[in-house]
Chain A
Amino acid sequence: MLVPDDTIAAISTPIGEGGIGIVRASGPHAIAIAEKIFFSPAGIRLAAVASHTLHYGFIVDGNQRIDEVLVAVMRAPRTYTREDIVEINCHSGIVPLRWILNLLLQYGARLAEPGEFTKRAFLNGRINLNQVKAVLDVVKAKTELGLETAISHLTGRFSALIASVKDELSRLLAQIEVEIDFPDADIEPGSQQELLDSLISLHNRIEEMIARGKEGKILRQGLAIVILGKTNVGKSTLFNALLQEERAIVTPIPGTTRDTLEETIAIDGIPFRLIDTAGLRCSDDVVEQAGIERTKRAKEIADLILFVIDRSLPITADDQHLAADLTGKRVILLQNKSDLPAATNNIELDGKWEKVYAISAQNGTGLTALKKGIIDLCFSGAIPERSGILLLNTWEEDLLRHAARAISRAIEGLQTGYSIDMISEEIRTAYLASTQLQGIDATEELLDRIFADFCIGK
């Protein structure tokens, strides 16, 4: 339910441009919400600090430090919106920015619509209409909108999933409601067992969505792209080339084992974990063991493999050996060193490739095409088959959890023998959560469903 005096939050600097990003919150609870995710080594409490002051500390998610930040606290009315404002200055990569925004949403802020800060400023009498227009133009061109567009493809996937969950809930609820609303109507009574089975499978689906969101691959870490290949084919050059082009995000990924080289990059605003594996050499026993282990692990977590060969030299047994081991994975074959003359014999390599590119990591040829290919695979659904990209903001995750809890109470209730009016309350709760996620009028939708599916009218 909407709270009238809500606090809004958004990323208010362009993603990936410059070293510093700002996440801003405005509204009566802005300071209290920021307090919940801010840790000050000096023991400073934001609620107690003077207005218009800057404070050093960390943004934390539970026990985990997300980023080193400077937090500006500005109290109403001497602020842009004439409301309390908190600005969190952090590293500008998409990962920390989204994560911090997510935390603010989790603790009660609502995602601001494009230009909403400015609208508030206007409404609160801070700026005049002409100023509003000027600001909105800039805002639209640069930030909030740009970020959302990059991500809208992915939210489309979430909408489709949520729509299917909502449809199923509405089907189940309609069956119950129609029997309550029209007890004498000509209706095949629903079976308790079928209801139970459907609820269990629905519960699993939602839990899986939450788990995917929690994995937060795309949000927090990005999909894992693993660079594989034998030694000296140009893997590290490719790694560095991609990093340079996309400006590596400095935040190290917590908990990652450092036996492979890993950095996070953003392509078109979408974060990816780029993992470089050391090349394999077949002769050295010890290194080979370590190498095999490494490769195995990297392959396990890979959402996409960039398999690199040197096109200036003939295919070797090492290449073939490695390629044979890639079955079941999404692989892009990169024929590197296009700046050199191609080998003339023995250049065929068997394997199932999503795409094949001739590139030169050395001088950057073909990298644009490669990146476009990666994004295409990502949006076409080819890559995330295993992990499933779910871009859940925390509000969405909360609603999903709310729905999952209600469904599990319904399941428990059915198994314990609670009456259907109680069960329907739980399913209704879950259904309302799913309609909230879609932003539609639940009652009307449900009635439409009832009248479409059942022959009513005694």
Chain B
Amino acid sequence: MIGAGHAGCEAALAAARLGIKTALLTMDLSQTGKLACNPSIGGPGKSQLVTEIDALGGEMARITDQTMINVRRLNTSKGRAMQVCRAQVDRYRYPATLKKVLEEQDNLYLIAAEVDALINKGSRVVGIRTTSGWELHSQAVIVTVGTFLNGAICYGKTSFPAGRAGEPPALGLTSSLRLLGLKMARFKTGTPPRVDGRSIDFAPLNRQETSAVPLGFSFTTPPRVLSKKFPVYLTETNEKTHSLIRDNLQESANYNGLITGKGPRYCPSIEAKIVKFPHRTSHKVFLEPEGAYSEEYYLQGLYTAFSHAIQVRIVNSIVGLERARITQFGYNIEYEFVDPTQLLPSLEVKEISHLFLAGQINGTTGYEEAAAQGLIAGINAARLISGKQPVVLSRAQAFIGVLLDDLVTKGVDEPYRILPSRAEYRITLREKNADLRLAEIGYQIGLLPESRYEQIQRKEAEIKNAVRTLQRIHISPGDKIDDLLSARRTTPLRQNGSSLYHLLQRPQLTLADLLPLCSLSLSPEVAEEVEIAVKYDGYLQQQTREIARLRRLEKMVIPVDFAWQDLASISHEGKERLTKVKPRSFGQATRIPGLSKADLSLLAIYLKR
């Protein structure tokens, strides 16, 4: 395992837990599990990844639960299916806690060393060599080096090689990967400045308190209410900020030609926001606390690559920050990533066996995206060594499946972030049912203990029973129900009454309203699933039908050695696209952008031959 970021840590833990002797090499052990950007985990799409990692036996959710300092439930006004948690975690306790888990793991060895090259025998990787010349032979190598490939930090008119702030890039490894024939491209990403909390005037700022309702990510730790010690504060830019930015654009590495890589659209720099949306008179800035061991606040929303002198003026132009002292300046980092269409859905490199890539090296951003890939790469490397088939989650099973399928099928043209709108079956793929969706797979892989698996099976049975009970109990018109219905301003029952199930489908009624009418007593987790199962029944059924169709297409497997070049009569363009991705199933082929229906149906005929 090369790199001890969020991908590397999950990969190493998964492989070691599956009984594989695992070495985790990193330049600087004190940076293990570092939160290089904002100290926040979860949010739409990302939160689903976190709970899925948990359901499969990964670590991220548990560490988050242990170290979060402010957590909120988002999208509560948008129905039940899209609700997710987002937490601020303690920037220092999170990596420390994670490192402890790594250290205590059997089969896992942490080693501080810089890897200079991969050792290969033909098209198979057999080990690594460090900069000191030490060679380590292994059955598989997982590379999770984040932004360290040919990384360069830029701000103002300055640019210098770096992996992250204060850390050198991995130059040897970059050329080693290139020598193996991997195609790479450049992306950029940014961070905002951080300021000393003692220099902030909090009085005029709005606060976002942590949730008063117990929340958490892991299915194994009970939800908690956190202390109110760490609110997030909210301020905004103003006309002064904007004219300062407009007048000094040449002082930003983003606009003076220094940076050429493409950045993420969902994380634009403040200068990009001003240029792109000139009619806006303000943009929000969140002041995120960094935890018990720091007075620093992270200025979320103020990503920038301005020179330090301008950054000071920008920060001081904002309400509450007039006297704020910057402790760390914002910067942009440009780095190389590997075109992920060169990977199999197992995250093994197509052309070079026993080499796996996971995390930001594959063109993604985000801790959660990295951790999810790390978990899958760790599992599949272990399975490869044990002679087992790789685990590939489908788009219908998990957000992790959506993430990996998008990466290896569509590739990336900006740093990839998971989003609910990318998931076709998102009503089915909820944050809080990840255990129900994935427990069986986690158990079969061997990362989920049997006791946990049985517990989840019991939960599933309980949900089914409760739904059946609601279907069975029939309510006739009567005072009690009539009062409830009129209080909720919904139509009265007809003469022949209705089942509780059908009553619950009315948007005006909740399960809590109806529980007094039956003898069910349910835990909050079960109650939520029951309510969703009833209220979203039509949507869930529709998605189930679509998923069945998808599964049929995914079952048409394309052999690894399929002779793509021999595909006569498929259009030239179609052949080019197919050859690039080399889909592993017909279903995957249907998702390759720009393939015509005729080409696809010809491919289907080929496959049947």
Contacts and interface: CB of A to CB of B under 8 A. Distances in A.
- Interface size band for B: 35 or more
B600 A425 contact: no
A181 B419 contact: yes
Contacts of B569: 119, 122-123, 132
Nearest to A189: B77
B74 A455 contact: no
A446 interface: yes
A396 to B, nearest CB: 14
A455 B303 CA distance: 14
B487 interface: no
Interface string A414-458: 001111111001000000000000000101101100110001111
A147 to B, nearest CB: 17
Nearest to B601: A6
Contacts of B556: 4
B468 to A, nearest CB: 23
Contact of B78 (A116, A125, A129, A419): A419
Interface in B7-48: 43-45
Contacts of B268: 455-457
Contacts of B607: 4
A450 B606 CA distance: 39
Interface stretch (B62-70, B166-174, B272-280, B356-364): B272-280
Contacts of B273: 455, 457
Given A4-B556, A420-B79, A455-B273, A183 B286 contact: no
Nearest to B406: A443
A401 interface: no
A1 interface: yes
A379 interface: no
A177 interface: yes
A186 B597 contact: no
B266 interface: yes
A455 B267 CA distance: 10
Contact of A177 (B265, B267, B410, B421): B421
A421 B80 contact: yes
Contacts of A4: 553, 556, 586, 600-601, 604, 607
Contacts of A148: none
Nearest to A450: B421
A182 B266 contact: yes
A152 interface: no
B137 interface: no
A61 interface: no
B284 interface: yes
B266 A422 contact: no
A78 B522 CA distance: 64
B300 interface: yes
A300 to B, nearest CB: 42
B507 interface: yes
Nearest to A4: B604
Contact of B421 (A1, A446, A455): A446
Nearest to A409: B538
A2 interface: yes
A417 B491 CA distance: 13
B564 to A, nearest CB: 15
A385 interface: no
Given A180-B82, A422-B536, A456 B593 contact: no
B427 A425 contact: yes
A180 B78 contact: yes
Contacts of B284: 184-186, 458
A58 B286 CA distance: 72
B593 A444 contact: yes
Nearest to A124: B605
B408 to A, nearest CB: 15
Contacts of A122: 568-569
Contacts of A186: 280, 282-284
Contacts of A457: 266-268, 273, 301, 303
A284 interface: no
B160 interface: no
Contacts of A245: none
Nearest to B593: A441
Nearest to A443: B422
Interface in A104-127: 110, 113, 116, 119-120, 122-125
B304 to A, nearest CB: 12
Contacts of B608: 5
B609 interface: yes
A446 B419 CA distance: 12
A181 B609 CA distance: 43
B539 interface: yes
A215 interface: no
Nearest to B79: A419
Given A182-B266, A421-B427, A422-B79, A2 B507 contact: no
Contacts of A444: 410, 593
B265 A456 contact: yes
A445 to B, nearest CB: 11
B467 interface: no
A122 B273 CA distance: 55
A179 interface: yes
Contacts of B75: 180, 183
Contacts of B286: 184, 458
A181 B606 contact: no
Contacts of B507: 416-419
A205 B606 CA distance: 42
B420 interface: yes
B598 A116 contact: yes
A179 B77 CA distance: 10
B78 A447 contact: no
A425 B604 CA distance: 30
Interface string B510-548: 000000000000000000000000001001001000100
A450 B422 CA distance: 12
12 contacts: A1-B546, A4-B553, A4-B604, A123-B602, A180-B44, A419-B78, A419-B80, A421-B80, A422-B79, A441-B593, A456-B268, A457-B266
Ranked nearest first, the 9 interchain pairs of A and B with the lowest CB-CB distance are A419-B79, A421-B79, A4-B604, A451-B265, A183-B74, A113-B598, A417-B507, A421-B81, A177-B421
Interface of B: 43-45, 74-75, 77-82, 265-268, 273, 276-277, 280, 282-284, 286, 300-301, 303, 410, 419-422, 427, 507-508, 536, 539, 542, 546, 549-550, 553, 556, 568-569, 586, 590, 593-594, 596-598, 600-602, 604-609
